[in-house]
Structure 1
Amino acid sequence: MTNTAPVEPRASFDNWGPYALLAAGAVAAAVSARPVGMGRPAMAASAVLVAAGALLQVCWGRVKRRQPGPSRTGVCFYLLRWALGFVLTWLNPFFAFYAVTGYYTAARELPGRLVMPGLFLTAITMAGSEVGGMPPHGPLLWSGFFLVLGLNMGLVSVFTRFALQEQERARVQAETITELERTNTALQQALDENAALHAQLLVQAREAGVADERRRLAAEIHDTLAQGLTGIIAQLQVVANTPDEGQAREHVHRAMDLARHSLGEARRSVHNLAPVALEHDGLPQALKNTVADWGERTGIRAEFTVAGTTEQLHDELSATLLRIAQEALSNASRHARAGRLGVTLTFLGDEVILDIRDDGVGFDPLAVPPRSRTGGFGLDGMRARAERIAGSLTVESEPGHGTALSARVPLVRHDQ
């Protein structure tokens, strides 16, 4: 398949236009030779000059293919062609068909400062033709010559100005198009980079979400199954160590209740990981039941208090605070050796505060080993839960003086 580039009209005129105008002038001059008074010598000279003009155009076409645009060679060619046109028009005014070529080619063959002088020379030739030929005979024809020359130059100036304005608009338009193409290229590159970055961020967010979900699932399993199994083991140890059948039977029932409760928690966690205690009750009632059940199982005096105006909290907020309370109670039953424990839920403006205090043996918070070595979640798990919902966890404790744990989270209502 051959691709053919379109040829611009002006480029086509540069190729064949001067020949066509020269031929038109020669035909018109031959037809009008006798009416204008051309003798044989003038006709012979015209034939020689027409041949010279054609040869000059052939030579200039070859040079222009190697050296396009205004140049010194172009100035010489323009002047030679003007001289031929001027002499031919002197011999016969109808050769102005050929001389008019200077109007169309001056801007492309002459440097900018010589365009108007070149047009003025062509206007002289055209004015001489329009008053009947050079030289004008008599003052009247000379006056007409200068009048026609002025009109020609006026028209040439107007049309040249319009042409320059059009060229300037075309130049500005070309520069604008080039700049738009450059901008579009840069924009496309930026869009491609943004798309790649977006894809990378999605992958990172997905990986971070997977890791966070794994941590959350691990914490949920720890809070549901591990704590329930710990309670069951504790009840069964009491059964194994007591000779009292009534007391043993009571602890067996408690172990069975814990097993059922843990099974319910596990099923619930599989569905939506929300605590079973919150399925029908709000956070205050769920905490009250949890504290009461814990106190009954451990034999430790446990109290629950609500302060402030109770709000219906968002499900995630309620689940987080309940899990923190469950973990704290589990830690207290295993390590605190407390005689009394208090849990307070405070609704304070735009915050919810969960405080858990005991009068146990206490500990040094700085000396607590990381969870990777303890095998549980403990303080790290509770702190991670609070921070996940833009909250915080503080622990105050020292050996022999009990422990105070406080979780502060922003208050987010259920309908928000």
Structure 2
Amino acid sequence: MSRNPETGTQTGTQTGTQTGPETGPETGPETGPETGRPETGPDPDARWLAAVMHSAFFLLLVASAARFLQHHRGEPRAPWVIALSAALAVCYGAGLVLGITGRPDVARPTRAHLVWLTGVTALWAVLVLLAPSFAWCAIPLFVTGLRTLPTVPALALVTGVTVLVVVSQNRLADGFDPNLTIVPVAVAAVTAGVITHMRRQAVRLRESERRAGMLDERQRLSMEIHDALAQGLSSQTMLLQAAERSWDTDPDAARDHLRTASRIGARNLAEARRLVQDLAPSDLADATLEQALRAVADRQPAPPTTFTVDGTPRPLPDRVQSTLVRIAQGALANTAEHAAAHRAVLTLTYLDDQVVLDIADDGRGFDPARPRSPTGRGHGLPAIQARAAQLGATLTVESAPGQGTVISVAVPLEPHP
């Protein structure tokens, strides 16, 4: 463990815990820009339900046709019923082949889907009027309409289909039958209630995920701005203040400070553009991790910061490199703004199964149990904790008032062969 660069002692308490295994190069759970949420394809449960529903429709259609032929084979309407049954099967199957049967995750149904559903429903309605035994095919139509239409049209479709089923069943019974009237209505009501509830739950879940994604993105941008830009802006402020103090007494030094501040401003502009484009830190452009961390340390005018490497450098995943550079930037920005330190040390240590980044300073320190600054801003340490958690790293913060601070981030890696 790194020690305070001034006192050589370890102080404070460990506040970070290992949160999980390192996810490997470019194959971790994140799929969006650094903290984006995973993108998912069509819901497999929805595909399974659709397959069951379509299969049930064809089974009910075949069973209804078989029942009709069993009891009404020689009747004049038999050819019409068989022809309509075949037409309904072809129409329904065409929708499956063309992929226009509708998806429940689409906000508005397509025109092709509406035409297909209207044609299927019209053929079924004529068929039921000729042969009431085909009324059982209404259940898949219920489900299709409720899953793919907006709520009001879907409920209107269910109501119309239910009325037609009740009328046809009572005709089949040669009079009013309470059982044949109540049962279809109950089945339709339960089906409509369950599927409408499921759809609304799905909408609420998507909205919740959208809000969570927005909050994650806001947190990511907050961390990026703090870690990538705050260090440079703090350095610029200090250099400009130094230039102002030495403007009359040492013009050459003042000009050097201004030139350095200008270079830092240009780099900050490049960082801002990279943040907008979701790219890696500019220090890593055409540079190794060690070179990038050394550049971060060299840009720190106050306190002066040294960078050292222990162990044999090894290739690391891009995600790990980017995160370690961001952590270093954020920690040194905190040091410059809050620590009032005389010097700081940035150390990168390569071990067999992990890489460790230590940021130590000899400043005023703080109580790790109350990490927020007196100004109440305190974005630095939470951002470091969040970044460490993304890598499944162990974060340790050692500090006490007046005794400096050591921040250590240990990222687990595959054992080095």
Structure 1-normalised TM-score? 0.49
Structure 2-normalised TM-score? 0.49
Counting helix residues as a fraction of each chain, which structure ranks higher? 1
The structure that has the greater radius of gyration is 1
